[in-house]
């Protein structure tokens, strides 16, 4: 479920069921050409689909953190977002990125991080890993 599909009047009723935030990280620098941005967003979408589609109704997708080429600033910004998201609205925060540079960073407050570097190229194996990791997270 996308953040903009939730109406203010419905949030209190839905909140107990929507306990997981999906936070996409694009990691753009501003130096990319338009086609490189398109490719990055398409790759991100493909990975997000592995979590969004099977868990619609439990996961809320927030707007992507689009720009962040300096690792220390990105780490601090994402940690701050995770903390705020967990403080009031969500029990879990799952980060998604198609940028292998970001996938190597450690973000305080994340519960899971999915990227091409920790998922296989085989879509069925990737889907199975996502399901396994998410179920393990929720069952703990």
pLDDT of residue 107: 92
**Average pLDDT across the chain, whole number:** 90
| Residue pair 126/98 in contact by the 8 Å Cβ criterion | no
pLDDT of the residue at 105: 87
pLDDT tens-digit readout, 48-87: 999 999 998 899 999 999 888 778 888 999 999 999 999 9
Mean pLDDT of 81-102: 93
- Give pLDDT, residue 118: 81
Q: Which of these, 22, 26, 9, 18, lies nearest to 97 by C-alpha position? A: 26
Residues above pLDDT 70, as percent of the chain: 100
Q: Where are the domains of the chain?
A: 3-139
* Cβ-contact 62, 21 below 8 angstroms: yes
- At 42 the three-state DSSP class reads helix
Percent of residues, the chain, with pLDDT higher than 90: 51
**Predicted TM-score of the model (pTM):** 0.91
The pLDDT assigned to 123 comes to 85
Highest mean pLDDT among 5-14, 67-76, 83-92, 112-121: 83-92
- Which superfamily does 3-139 belong to? Creatininase (3.40.50.10310)
Instruction: Count Cβ neighbours within 10 Å for each residue of 85-117 and write b for 16 or more, e otherwise.
Output: beeeebebbbbbbbbeebbebebebbbbbbbbe
User: Does the pLDDT of residue 120 top 80, yes or no?
Assistant: no
Mean pLDDT to the nearest integer, 15-39: 91
């Amino acid at each position: 479920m996308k953040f903009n599909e939730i109406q203010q009047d419905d949030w209190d009723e839905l909140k107990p069921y929507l306990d997981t935030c999906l936070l996409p990280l694009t990691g753009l620098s501003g130096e990319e050409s338009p086609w490189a941005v398109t490719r990055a967003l398409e790759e991100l979408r493909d990975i997000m689909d592995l979590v969004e589609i099977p868990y619609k109704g439990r996961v809320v997708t927030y707007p992507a953190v689009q720009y962040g080429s300096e690792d220390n600033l990105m780490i601090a910004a994402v940690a701050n977002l995770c903390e705020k998201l967990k403080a009031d609205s969500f029990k879990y925060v799952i980060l998604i990125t198609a940028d292998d540079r970001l996938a190597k960073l450690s973000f305080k407050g994340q519960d899971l991080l999915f990227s091409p570097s920790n998922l296989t190229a085989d879509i069925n194996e990737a889907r199975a890993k996502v399901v396994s990791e998410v179920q393990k997270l929720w069952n703990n």
